[in-house]
Amino acid sequence: MAIFSKTCEYAIRAVFYIAHKSASGDRAGLKDIAAGIDSPELYLAKILQDLSRKGLIRSVKGPNGGFYVDADSLARPLSDIVEAVDGQGLFHGCALGLKQCSEINPCPLHDQFKSIRGQISDLLHRTTIGGFNEELIGGLLSLKK
Amino acid sequence: MAIFSKTCEYAIRAVFYIAHKSASGDRAGLKDIAAGIDSPELYLAKILQDLSRKGLIRSVKGPNGGFYVDADSLARPLSDIVEAVDGQGLFHGCALGLKQCSEINPCPLHDQFKSIRGQISDLLHRTTIGGFNEELIGGLLSLKK
DNA sequence: TAATAAAAGGATATTCTTGTCCTTTATTCA
DNA sequence: TGAATAAAGGACAAGAATATCCTTTTATTA
């Protein structure tokens, strides 16, 4: 198992790609994004529809339409995408799947996993969607698989 | 997404349960284990067959048969189970699914995820299968969901 | 040695994730 | 206003993870 689902990986890469285009005032079309992040186009369409419904990205139909993110969304943390797609599983719940594990009755790995999950949460919360743009512009980062 | 797959959660809980019984010289039968860790019996059978083939646990057929772990296995790290079931995904590979991400050409989250994954790896490597027995004996820990 | 108990193994069923296809709706522009 | 473009939406398909069923093999013990 990877850390994120495949759907979530696509979502993150796509939003980065869209944010990058948005920074120069452009919108990104589905074909463009799918090619840019190396993902199946029609599956990505579903993911973007979902993110759009949830208000994480915006879309415009018709000629010269496409996806973009506004300034507010650029400032949003990466965790918003992860939660929208993969839910809270990475941050909460006993790692061993024990229902009775809690702060009051912790499993033997509870505190250690708590610390690690806290770090993942911190990382995803302090990293913003727009924060990758410099690196994308500098060409240091490719979003292709 | 949780950290481990459901299969892996069952596997970990089952091995803990078996290890606990083994400590008092007993073997654990499938029904017993499934009830003890609250998992579907026949699915668990497949998981245990797999762990047995991979040498992580031992089994004996026939009356008074069942599963047990030898002293060697008690000393094994939890990471052995996780790797056997969920593979290397938790420890290796770019978190964002970027093929080109590497030490030489790291993605923007590479180093931070590397640290977190290192901690997960350390935790799972330094925790042994047998290490939970005191807590199970003390009744502090329940393996039921 | 026969009866029984318990895991092993193969096949199938169900559910969830991932991926595709086709039609509809909204927008642009000639 | 009509044609073209691009996302939205609904339905379906493939694959993987999870779960169940049935038969076979191996061991115990009466």
pLDDT digits (tens, 9 = 90+) for B121-136: 999 999 999 987 766 6
Question: Is residue A79 situated within a structural domain?
Answer: yes
Identify the bridge partners of residue B59 per DSSP, sorted by sequence position.
B67
For B11-143, where are the E strands, in sequence order?
Answer: 58-60, 66-68
A44 touches strand D (CB under 7 A): no
Q: Report the share of chain B in percent with pLDDT over 70.
A: 92
Q: pLDDT band at B27, cuts 50/70/90?
A: very high
pLDDT of residue B140 exceeding 80, the answer is: no
Pairing of strands B58-60, A66-68: unpaired
Q: pLDDT band at B138, cuts 50/70/90?
A: low
Spell out which residues of B between 40 and 79 contact strand C, using CB within 7 Å. 45-46, 48-49, 52-53, 59-67
pLDDT tens profile A67-86: 999 999 999 999 999 999 99
* ipTM summary value: 0.92
Question: Is residue B134 situated within a structural domain?
Answer: yes
CB-proximal positions of chain C, under 7 Å:
4-11, 17-22, 25-29
How many C-beta atoms surround the C-beta of residue A54 within 10 A?
Answer: 13
Long-range contacts of the stretch B112-117 (C-beta < 8 A, 24+): B112/A123, B113/A3, B113/A123, B115/A119, B116/A116, B116/A119, B116/A120, B116/A123, B117/A3, B117/B90, B117/B91, B117/B92
Establish if A2 touches chain B: CB-CB under 8 angstroms.
yes
Q: pLDDT band at A138, cuts 50/70/90?
A: low
Most confidently predicted of A141-145, B27-31, B112-116? B27-31
* pLDDT value at residue A85: 98
pLDDT of residue B69 exceeding 80, the answer is: yes
Mean of the pLDDT values across residues A47-69?
Answer: 97
Question: Is residue B20 situated within a structural domain?
Answer: yes
pLDDT of residue A99 exceeding 60, the answer is: yes
Q: How many domains does chain B have?
A: 1
* pLDDT value at residue A145: 56
Question: Is residue A105 situated within a structural domain?
Answer: no
CB-proximal positions of chain D, under 7 Å:
4-11, 17-22, 25-29
Kindly state the tokens that stand for A24. 């120069």
Q: Locate all alpha helices (DSSP H) within A38-106, ordered by sequence.
A: 41-53, 71-74, 78-86
Nearest CB to A95 within list B3, B135, B140: B3
A34 vs A142, higher pLDDT? A34
Query: Cα–Cα distance between A65 and A114 in angstroms, integer?
Result: 44
A63 touches strand D (CB under 7 A): yes
Question: Is residue B102 situated within a structural domain?
Answer: no
Question: Is residue B114 situated within a structural domain?
Answer: no
Question: Is residue A70 situated within a structural domain?
Answer: yes
B86 contacts A108? CB cut-off 8 A:
no
* pLDDT value at residue A141: 64
How many C-beta atoms surround the C-beta of residue A85 within 10 A?
Answer: 22
Q: What is the domain extent for residue A73?
A: 6-86+128-138
Q: pLDDT band at A96, cuts 50/70/90?
A: confident
CATH label of the domain that carries residue A38: 1.10.10.10
Question: Is residue A92 situated within a structural domain?
Answer: no
Mean of the pLDDT values across residues A118-127?
Answer: 95
Establish if A138 touches chain B: CB-CB under 8 angstroms.
no
Distance B65 CA to C4 C1' (A): 12
Burial (0-12, 13-18, 19+ Cβ within 10 Å), B62: exposed
With contact defined as beta carbons under 8 Å apart, do B94 and B110 qualify?
yes
Residues of B with Cβ-Cβ distance to A2 under 8 angstroms? 89-90, 93, 95, 97
Q: Which nucleotide is nearest to A45 (CA to C1')?
A: D7
pLDDT of residue A136 exceeding 90, the answer is: no
- Angle at the Cα of A137 from the Cα atoms of A132 and A143, rounded to 5 degrees: 60
Q: Looking at chain A, which residue has its C-alpha nearest residue B113?
A: A120
* pLDDT value at residue B100: 78
